[in-house]
Amino acid sequence: MTSSHPSDPVQAGPLVQLVGINKHFGAGPAVLDDVDLTIAPGEVHGLLGANGSGKSTLIKILSGVHGVDSGTLTVRGEPAQLPLLGDRAQALGLRFVHQDLGLVGSLSALENYLIPLISASRGSLKMNWRAQQRRMQSVLDRYGLAFDPQTEVALLRPVDRALLAIVRALDGPGTPFPGPRLVVLDEPTVFLPQVEIDKLFSLIRRIAADGSSVLFVSHDLDEVRAVTDRITVLRNGAVVLACARTAEISSKQLIKAIVGAELASGSRIGPPTNVGHELLRVSQLTAGAARGVDFTAYTGEVIGLTGLSGDGYEDIVEALAGAIRSRAGQITLAGSVYEMRSWNPTVAVAQGVVLVPADRLVNGIAPELPLIDNVTLPQLNSFLAGPLLRRGAMRTYTQTLIDRYDIRPTDPDNPIAQLSGGNQQKAVLGKWIETAPKILLLHEPTQGVDVGARQQIFRIIRETAEHSSVLVASSDHDQLAELCDRVLIVRKGNIVAQLTNDEVTKSRITAECLQPSLDRASP
């Protein structure tokens, strides 16, 4: 399985070769199990795998973040000592561009380009701006990039930002490397509009034509198929497809390799099979990346929303909570119609639509405040006696909530930051569920939550769904399979498939998310 297919560039000897990489964290299972990866000079190599397949760990070994249990790295035929310490990866010509790009929006493109120089420079204090700008301009010209180095990065188009980050990594002033380099692009297309992706692809091809290599990490099969020469697929830490020529492999085969199960065609959105009555009807919701989304939620069900990052599934719950602005659409909630353009969190909460947000420490809790202040916030008016709050009643309420949701430690006056992630999340769930919401919106509800609390949270969610309806936006397909009655798959801003009953399995969800839009158009 691990032998590489013959291909022209390989004859020159691989640029980067990982052999027999094993890695596990602590007492956990192996994250990488005897992984080989060979990247030839001048090739664009796709690295695919579901969440948790070991892709990121493999990249972090290349960038020097992690060491290995065993295995070797060879760069241009020379063995390299693992872990790669300090800026060793840079010095070997290994370059990385992550999804967040590492750019500062308020600085100019030139200033951003020089960040590696500024952070690496020792001694010389004087910056020759004119010479640096000339140098940057020549790099831009070489790759055919047409933006002004003086432009503020925030004003650049998204694709130009990505291109800037890539040429900075490749030819930037930090640690120059003369020969062929390897650029690792970690999901570079997630936030790019479809029409601009071609510019990114032509830069990638240009880099490969110059003799450097690109490791292209993505979930998007269309893009991987469009730009890569060969593909390696990881599943559960092992290589299941090694250096397969892109032209010789179908999307179906790729999905099968990623998911590990036979693919069946997803059912189209039809009438739901649920018994409860209609609670929420969403029509033509347009917010963030979501465009014209329609669906209906019934009492008694837990609905999952998922897709690829950037495709808009998260934006649906965020918009329903009023956390992000909607550009168009309406909802019908328990018989009343609301225009989404004037929807906001105040109205949402008043109408019983509540959100347990992702990024709990920023959006979910006020870390410094005690548990009691965090959980009583939505209900303060119910503790009034005249103009003043009854502290005793608030305390009793909090104590009941602590017991009901099994929050530990049980002291209501403890700053909530001192609780574990799972207990914090139970507190946030309790805070909202006790308001008897109509719609409970959850965004990555078990992020940073331990296994025990995860099961408790699932139970709490199921119980809540008995008299309301619950929407879960998550990229954790395991969790969705365990929790949801039905799962809506969002792709490029639209719901493209619905899984119900025994279709709701981890592998089906993952497969549907990966299903390329081309295939879907002609089933």
Partner 1 sequence: MTETPGAAAVPSKNLARSAERFALPAIWVILLVVFSVLRPDTFLTLANFSAMFSSQTSLLVLALAVTIPLTAGDFDLSVGSTAGLSAMTIAVLNVQYGVGIWWAVLAGLLVSVLVGVVNSALTILVGVDTLIVTLGMGTLLQGVISWMGNFSVVTGVSKSLVNAVVRTRILGIPIEFWYGLALCAIMWYFMELTPLGRRLLMVGQSRKVAQLSGLRVGALRAGALMSSALLAGVAGALVVGTTGSADQTSASQLLLPAFAAAFLGATTILPGRFNAIGVLVSVLFLVTGITGLQQLGVPSFVQNLFYGAALIAGVVLSHAVGIARQKKKRSL
Please say which residue, 269 or 324, places its beta carbon nearer to partner 1. 324
Which tokens belong to 465? 């769904």
The span from the CA of 371 to the CA of 86, in Å, is 42
The span from the CA of 455 to the CA of 445, in Å, is 11
CB of 143 to partner 1, least distance (A): 38
Which tokens belong to 194? 């479809």
Please say which residue, 185 or 429, places its beta carbon nearer to partner 1. 429
Please say which residue, 276 or 367, places its beta carbon nearer to partner 1. 367
CB of 375 to partner 1, least distance (A): 11
CA distances to 343, 372, 397, 401, 436 from 393, rounded to whole Å, are 33, 11, 6, 12, 19
CB of 331 to partner 1, least distance (A): 17
Q: What are the helix (H) ranges across 74-189?
A: 88-91, 109-113, 115-120, 129-142, 158-171
CB of 344 to partner 1, least distance (A): 9
Please say which residue, 247 or 362, places its beta carbon nearer to partner 1. 362
Please say which residue, 275 or 362, places its beta carbon nearer to partner 1. 362
CB of 287 to partner 1, least distance (A): 15
CB of 47 to partner 1, least distance (A): 35
CB of 358 to partner 1, least distance (A): 11
504 touches 266 (CB < 8 A): no
CB of 362 to partner 1, least distance (A): 6
Task: Give backbone dihedrals phi and psi of 415, rounded to 5 degrees, phi first.
Answer: -55, 135
DSSP 3-state percent helix, strand, coil across the chain (nearest 5): 40, 25, 35
Three-state secondary-structure class, residue 296: strand
How many CB atoms are located within 10 Å of the residue 261 CB?
A: 14
Give the residues lining the site for partner 1 (CB under 8 A): 321, 323, 345-346, 348-350, 355, 357, 362-369, 373, 376-378, 380-381, 384, 387-389, 391, 418
Please say which residue, 380 or 518, places its beta carbon nearer to partner 1. 380
For 137-161, b where at least 16 C-beta lie within 10 A, e where not — what string?
eebbeebebebebeeebeebeebbb
Please say which residue, 323 or 495, places its beta carbon nearer to partner 1. 323
The span from the CA of 348 to the CA of 437, in Å, is 10
Please say which residue, 237 or 322, places its beta carbon nearer to partner 1. 322
